[in-house]
């Protein structure tokens, strides 16, 4: 199995794991509630579920980062290798930042839930790191898709969507970066699988 096909498979598997953490395991109404005391009560009522959600999100994000690393390794002989390397580094560092944030949240859920306030400033650095490193990674991969042997629509979709998320993150809400995590691995993964299958048929 070539690295392109394996990358597509790993990206989709990682996304499924991340979605499991975000929707299946996350305690009900946790992120819809505004009052921190109500949110903390929900965490206490569903403590094991909250822990499982954080672990699933860490594993899913890590698996997706591996998927992009495999794509980058596939591109090492391409003229876009340098940009892809920088993109992979940004993606991996962003994943590490998120992993630290989520692991710490298991022992201190209040600081995690308050990370964007003055009380949770110690946690916000990891949140910010994940946000801006992930956006940087997708901007670089968008350029890689534009310059490399990829569908033009994939490059424009990646760049356009990432720029939109960047604007929202700058002026409205940094949590918008999660839209990239939920959408782009699926799109990129499907494209990689289809392209690897097409090349096998041609060969």
User: The pTM is what?
Assistant: 0.91
Where in the chain are the domains?
3-197
| Cβ(104)–Cβ(126) below 8 Å | yes
Specify the pLDDT at position 123. 78
- The pLDDT confidence band at residue 23, using thresholds 50, 70 and 90, is confident
- Both tokens of 48, joined, read 């094991």
> Does residue 202 register a pLDDT over 80?
no
Cβ-count burial 68-104 (b if 16+ within 10 Å, e if not): bbbbbbbbeeeebbebbbbbbbbbbbbbbbbbbbbeb
Task: Give the span between the Cα atoms of 139 and 136, in whole angstroms.
Answer: 5
What is the DSSP code (8-state) at residue 26?
S
Task: Dump pLDDT digits (tens) for 103-125.
Answer: 999 999 988 888 766 555 677 88
| Cβ(67)–Cβ(14) below 8 Å | yes
Task: Dump pLDDT digits (tens) for 26-78.
Answer: 999 888 888 889 999 999 999 999 999 999 999 999 999 999 999 999 999 89
């Amino acid at each position: 199995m070539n690295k392109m096909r394996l990358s597509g498979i790993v990206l989709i598997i990682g996304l499924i794991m991340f979605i499991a953490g975000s929707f299946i395991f996350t305690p009900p109404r946790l992120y819809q509630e505004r009052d921190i005391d109500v949110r903390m009560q929900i965490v206490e009522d569903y403590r094991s579920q909250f822990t499982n959600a954080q672990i699933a999100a860490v594993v899913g994000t890590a698996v997706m980062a591996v998927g992009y690393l495999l794509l980058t390794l596939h591109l090492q002989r391409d003229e876009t290798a340098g940009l892809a390397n920088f993109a992979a580094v940004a993606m991996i560092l962003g994943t590490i930042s998120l992993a630290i944030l989520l692991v710490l949240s298991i022992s201190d859920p209040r600081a995690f839930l308050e990370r964007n306030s003055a009380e949770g400033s110690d946690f916000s650095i990891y949140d910010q790191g994940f946000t801006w490193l992930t956006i940087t990674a997708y901007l670089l991969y968008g350029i890689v898709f534009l310059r490399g042997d990829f569908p033009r629509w994939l490059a424009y979709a990646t760049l356009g969507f990432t720029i939109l998320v960047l604007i929202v993150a700058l002026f409205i809400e940094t949590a918008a970066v999660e839209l990239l995590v939920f959408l782009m691995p699926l799109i990129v993964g499907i494209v990689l699988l289809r392209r690897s299958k097409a090349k096998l048929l041609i060969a």
